[in-house]
């Protein structure tokens, strides 16, 4: 039987000729940090002080243990090496590697002695490849397009430049005899009520003549097949298989699959995975609106409620199974049902996809290409195909994985970013996205759809980012316009859009100790990586608010409000246009360090107001007031499986709290549908002193009640700076597990910044608007010493313009 022995202990890292303790899995930066050689690059401007690390060579060393008797072959297996390395045993070369996204296996039978992994600087390798293949344009000046490495380790508009090296995934010895399982490819399908698992098996042999069989088991069902040469196929049909569904559509049953390689009845190797039975398709058919892009799971057409995922740490070896689970539970808790693994990052670990399988989170997986022209010559071309083949097979068992995507923004970049002229006919990646990658997916994983890129309109007949065709990235709004400009278009699928805000106050205090915080203080500027990011934040605020000079706390609060409102403007608009628009993927869920960014969850794992707003925006039922060509309408978005019926109250109100006019409408919306009701004449607010409130059953009523129990939509026709808000009055009281706020006036965008109560404190809701007489209870966990005065000091809301 194959025996695997981890080699995670006893490693050292050579630093200036001296050995330092090394952690495997890990990387040079984390080892130097643990040894006290470098400062924390996440704190202050520490990033700059460790820039030299990525430009050095580094060597990891340990003893390779002597082979044990009883096995014919011993393999040294690296699940991941970052990125360019030479491996030797007792000075004898085993091989040279150059791809972070692959695993490696070396025959070390009979070898023992010093094992060394010498990492060459990623910069040196990139420059060498550039010298061979020629220059290629990219969105950033760093040379990430010349090697197969996590692109964002070279920095991004939300990430630090920390170019890593190291043994970043587990390493082990595998000892075996006769044969082993080299590859198992599970094709999982649903056929006429049966769940079908067809296992395509490749074996590696030491004995060509040995008669081998494979036995598969799913639950109590078993099947066998003989190995012919080095391959076998075994198929099991599971009657009455329970379907795996995305969250909100059904349950997520998972089936254990076990495949055993046998010789004369004796087991040689075992492969185990979990699978789920479901069908998945992508409808890209043409219609009266253009070219669609709709995911279809088990025959159910979905509006995808998505978030973009970046590596959760710039040092990915630090992301544990528990951390993946916590972050993805946060996503599910916000109503998310799709996570896009973005192309400047990684094929994530099994822990990520296992959690998505269990939580019902659909996974859109980018191949790791982003924002650059990638050469198609060797040595890159062979590496690209090898990594694609390995990772497609590795991730195939996961039912959560529903889409392969060829790249992020490279087809768009070729057309719009001046690449075509600069390239002058040189290769740039099109052969990967329209050739190599779809061929690999079609050959190895025909159960899932593939799309060449995001954005992509389906063919070169349309602009790659045409909102009427395929996927669309909406960045003109953040970069140049007011967020109300989202309302001008109804893309078929919005795969990226977003708005920035700083992280939580406690996160800033940890990352910038001792700094007097200001939008343009040194640390704040260092932790703002977007081009003119602060300028865009300032212009976004100026369109809406009168921002007091020199008041950082107010600036911090208002930028958080603006981020939540901007994303809400887009999601409410696009969801109200289902099924023409079939999904939104907010940029972005998470951060890889403490930074001002588009994330809903900051680099310390704290939830911004945007996170809580997503819970409302991505709920099965959403109420929103929309301006249409024929006037104001109430749109009821019903993504639940049941019809939505009942009375909805509308109130035209003054900002002083008086009800000017009211009406009640009857709502009747089918399952997975959107309904619209015209707002009756006389209810549209007139000018900045009025607003409109729509409440669905269970929502608060005038004269009392708790806010947030039902569904509410608000429509303010003017920018906040023009609204004569009353001076907010509210009472604060402590209750078990939280704080209750009772409004004496209109209190708009009330926010408890729980982290100001203590670094571990978390609130269970974000922004809430109270009408006079209403109250809300905000749950707080992790608050060690509850105090009403402290709670009041941590509460923020809209105030009259100064």
Please give the domain boundaries of the chain with CATH numbers for all domains: 3-174 (2.60.120.260), 178-275 (2.60.40.10), 283-617 (3.20.20.80), 725-802 (2.60.40.10)
- Tell me: cis bond preceding 25? Omega within 30 of 0 counts: yes
The two three-digit tokens of residue 737, written as one number: 């597990």
Q: Which of 376, 387, 409, 613 is catalytic?
A: 409
Give every strand in the sheet of 795-796, ordered side by side: 768-770, 747-752, 795-796
The span from the CA of 181 to the CA of 173, in Å, is 15
pLDDT at 658: 96
Model confidence at 130: pLDDT above 80: yes
Q: Per-residue pLDDT averaged across 511-529, rounded?
A: 97
Of 26-40, 315-329, 536-550, 612-626, which gets the smallest average pLDDT? Answer: 536-550
614 touches 369 (CB < 8 A)? no
Query: Is residue 226 exposed (0-12), middle (13-18) or buried (19+ Cβ within 10 Å)?
Result: exposed
205 touches 178 (CB < 8 A)? yes
DSSP class of residue 82? B
- Tell me: cis bond preceding 449? Omega within 30 of 0 counts: no
152-186 as b/e: b if 16+ CB within 10 A: bbbbbbbbbbbbbbbbbbbbebbbbbbbbbebbbb
CB half-sphere exposure, 438, CA atoms < 13 A: 11
The span from the CA of 365 to the CA of 441, in Å, is 12
The two three-digit tokens of residue 35, written as one number: 């040894």
Q: Angle at Cα 786 formed by Cα 780 and Cα 787, nearest 5°?
A: 120
- Per-residue pLDDT of 66-100, as tens digits, reads 877 789 999 999 999 999 999 999 999 999 999 99
pLDDT at 710: 81
pLDDT at 802: 67
pLDDT at 17: 84
The span from the CA of 127 to the CA of 136, in Å, is 12
Model confidence at 704: pLDDT above 50: no
- Per-residue pLDDT of 788-797, as tens digits, reads 999 999 999 9
| pLDDT-derived band at 457, boundaries 50, 70, 90 | very high
pLDDT at 699: 41
CB half-sphere exposure, 510, CA atoms < 13 A: 21
The span from the CA of 318 to the CA of 367, in Å, is 22
DSSP class of residue 121? P
| pLDDT-derived band at 702, boundaries 50, 70, 90 | very low
730 touches 773 (CB < 8 A)? no
| pLDDT-derived band at 709, boundaries 50, 70, 90 | low
- Per-residue pLDDT of 743-776, as tens digits, reads 999 999 999 999 999 999 999 999 999 999 999 9
pLDDT at 70: 84
409 classed as catalytic:
yes
| pLDDT-derived band at 193, boundaries 50, 70, 90 | confident
| pLDDT-derived band at 548, boundaries 50, 70, 90 | confident
- Per-residue pLDDT of 370-415, as tens digits, reads 999 999 999 999 999 999 999 999 999 999 999 999 999 999 999 9
The two three-digit tokens of residue 4, written as one number: 């695997």
> Over the chain, what is the mean pLDDT?
96
Which pairing describes strands 286-287 and 290-291: parallel, antiparallel, or unpaired?
antiparallel
Neighbours of 764 (CB within 10 A): 17
% of the chain surpassing 90 pLDDT: 95
Quick one: which of 126, 156, 21 has its CA closest to 379?
126
73 touches 206 (CB < 8 A)? yes
- Per-residue pLDDT of 288-302, as tens digits, reads 999 999 999 999 999
Q: Per-residue pLDDT averaged across 453-468, rounded?
A: 98
Quick one: which of 121, 145, 151, 124 has its CA closest to 133?
145
83 touches 100 (CB < 8 A)? yes
Helices (H) and strands (E) in the chain, counts: 17, 44
């Amino acid at each position: 039987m194959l025996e695997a022995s981890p080699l995670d202990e006893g490693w050292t890292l050579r630093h200036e000729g001296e050995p330092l303790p090394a952690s495997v899995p890990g990387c040079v930066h984390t080892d130097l940090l643990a040894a006290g050689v470098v400062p924390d690059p996440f704190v202050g401007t520490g990033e700059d002080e460790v820039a030299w690390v990525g430009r050095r060579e580094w060597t990891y060393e340990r003893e390779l243990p002597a082979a044990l008797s009883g096995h014919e072959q011993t393999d040294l297996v690296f699940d991941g090496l970052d990125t360019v390395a030479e491996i030797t045993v007792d000075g004898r070369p085993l091989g040279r590697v150059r791809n972070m996204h692959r695993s490696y296996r070396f025959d070390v039978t009979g070898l023992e002695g010093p094992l060394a992994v010498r990492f060459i600087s990623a910069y040196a390798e990139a420059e060498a490849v550039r010298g061979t293949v020629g220059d290629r344009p990219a969105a950033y000046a760093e040379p990430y397009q010349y090697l197969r490495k996590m692109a964002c380790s070279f920095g991004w508009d939300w990430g630090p430049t920390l170019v890593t090296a190291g043994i970043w995934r587990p390493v082990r010895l595998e000892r075996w005899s006769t044969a082993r399982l080299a590859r198992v490819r599970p094709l999982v399908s649903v056929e006429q009520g049966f769940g079908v698992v067809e296992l395509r098996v490749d074996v590696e042999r030491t004995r060509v003549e040995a008669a081998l069989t494979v036995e598969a088991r799913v639950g109590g069902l078993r099947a066998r097949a003989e190995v012919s040469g080095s391959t076998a196929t075994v198929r099991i049909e599971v009657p009455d298989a329970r379907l795996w569904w995305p969250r909100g559509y059904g349950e997520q049953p998972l089936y254990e699959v076990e495949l055993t390689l046998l010789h004369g009845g004796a087991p040689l190797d075992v492969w185990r995975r979990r699978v789920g039975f479901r069908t998945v398709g992508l409808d890209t058919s043409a219609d009266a609106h253009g070219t669609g892009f709709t995911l279809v799971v088990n025959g159910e057409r979905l509006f995808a409620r998505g978030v973009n995922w970046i590596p959760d740490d710039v040092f990915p070896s630090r992301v544990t199974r528990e951390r993946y689970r916590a972050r993805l539970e946060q996503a599910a808790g916000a109503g998310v049902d799709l996570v896009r693994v973005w192309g400047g990052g990684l094929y994530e670990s099994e822990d990520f996809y296992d959690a998505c399988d269990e939580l019902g989170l659909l996974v859109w997986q980018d191949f790791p290409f982003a924002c650059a022209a990638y050469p198609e010559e060797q040595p890159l071309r062979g590496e690209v195909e090898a990594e694609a083949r390995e990772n497609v097979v590795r991730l195939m068992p996961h039912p959560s994985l529903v889409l392969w995507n060829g790249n992020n923004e490279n087809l768009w970049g070729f057309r719009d970013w001046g690449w075509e002229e600069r390239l002058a006919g040189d290769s740039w990646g099109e052969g990967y996205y329209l050739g190599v990658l779809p061929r690999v997916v079609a050959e190895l994983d025909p159960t899932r759809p593939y799309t060449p890129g995001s954005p992509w309109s389906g063919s070169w007949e349309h602009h790659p980012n045409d909102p009427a065709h395929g996927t669309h990235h909406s960045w003109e709004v953040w970069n140049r316009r007011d967020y109300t400009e989202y309302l001008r278009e109804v893309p078929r699928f919005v795969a990226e859009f977003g708005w920035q805000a700083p992280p939580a106050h406690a996160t800033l205090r940890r990352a910038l100790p001792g700094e007097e915080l200001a939008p343009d203080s040194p640390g704040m500027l260092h932790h703002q990586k977007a081009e003119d990011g602060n300028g865009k934040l300032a212009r976004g605020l100026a369109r809406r608010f009168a921002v007091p000079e020199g008041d950082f706390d107010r600036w911090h609060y208002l930028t958080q409000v603006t981020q939540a409102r901007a994303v809400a403007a887009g999601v409410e608009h696009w969801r109200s246009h289902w099924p023409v628009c079939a999904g939104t993927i907010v940029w972005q869920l998470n951060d890889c360090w403490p930074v001002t960014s588009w994330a809903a969850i900051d680099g310390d794992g704290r939830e911004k107001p945007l996170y809580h707003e997503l819970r409302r925006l991505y709920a099965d039922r959403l109420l929103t007031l929309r301006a249409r060509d024929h006037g104001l309408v109430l749109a009821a978005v019903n993504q639940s499986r049941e019809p939505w019926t009942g009375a909805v109250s509308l109130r035209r109100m003054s900002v002083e709290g008086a009800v000017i006019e009211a009406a009640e409408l009857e709502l009747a919306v089918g399952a997975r549908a959107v309904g619209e009701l015209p707002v009756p004449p006389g209810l549209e607010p007139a000018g900045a002193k009025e607003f409109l409130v729509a409440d669905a059953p269970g929502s608060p009523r005038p004269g009392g009640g708790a806010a947030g129990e039902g569904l509410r939509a608000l429509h303010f026709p003017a920018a906040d700076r023009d609204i004569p808000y009353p001076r907010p009055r509210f009472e604060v009281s402590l209750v078990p597990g939280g704080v209750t706020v009772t409004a004496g006036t209109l209190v708009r965008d009330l926010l408890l910044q729980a982290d100001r109560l203590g670094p571990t404190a978390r609130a269970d809701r974000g922004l809430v608007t109270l009408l006079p007489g209403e109250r809300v209870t905000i749950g707080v966990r992790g608050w060690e010493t509850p105090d009403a005065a402290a709670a009041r000091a941590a509460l923020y809301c809209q105030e009259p313009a100064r």
